[in-house]
Each structure stands twice: as structure tokens, then as C-alpha cells.
Amino acid sequence: MALVCSVLFIGMGLSGEIQRIAGISLKILNCPKCLTFWSALTILLLNRHPILPTVAASFIASYMAMWLTLAYDAATVKYNRLYEKITETPGISKREGDQEDTGSDPDSLKANPSDEMPKMPIEL
């Protein structure tokens, strides 16, 4: 349980927000492996488990956290790409250098001077 909580805690940005609000910077809150290791170690020791199996289980949990973080990041990238495809507006180029054939004359796309916003005087 500590494994999943640690990975999601960091992956969703909660650790960064807590550090920003509290005005602190802890390395352990930025590393899913470290946070998983120390939280699993603490939980198991508080439940009076033997020290050697506790340390071994904490190392295994931190190793699994690395792989879970990798899977979480891959799923996030896939989700972001899918979201971009779904929300793409036809006829509007999202990326620099992308050009889409709209079938209209490029000269007709230039803004007319009357379309500009009126200039407001700036007082200093």
C-alpha cells in the first residue's frame, strides 16, 4: 500500500504542492523509490516486524516503485497524446511548423487594420 501511495503522491504533484506551501524542500519527497523505502520501513518497524525482513521488504518495495513509476509515466504520456488527438480543432495548427491545407487564399487570411483593437493611452 505504501508503494502505490508513494508513487501516486509524487506522480500527481502532491509532494511538490506540500513543499511549496510549507516552504520546505526535501529530496525524499521528490523520489518515489526513497519515499517508498522509508515509508515501508517505518510502517513495518512500527508494527514490530523483525528488522532483517523489514529492510528486505522495504528494498523490494522501493524497486517495485521504480517500475510502477515507469508504468505510470508511460500511461501519462499515452493519455496526453490521446487527449491532444481528441481535442484537436480542425483547421487550426497546434504545433509550430505544422501547416494544414484549408483551401483558402493565404492573402485573405491577413488581418484587416480595422480588425485591430483600439489603442488605449497609457498613463505613467
| CA atoms lying within 13 Å on the CB side of residue 9 | 20
Output 108 or 14, whichever has higher pLDDT.
14
Q: What is the pTM of this model?
A: 0.62
If pLDDT is split at 50, 70 and 90, which confidence band does 38 have? very high
Output 109 or 57, whichever has higher pLDDT.
57
Here the cell at position 114 is: 480595422
35-44, 50-59, 66-75, 91-100 — which is least confidently predicted?
A: 91-100
Cα 46 versus chain centre, distance = 32
| pLDDT, averaged across the chain | 81
Output 23 or 117, whichever has higher pLDDT.
23
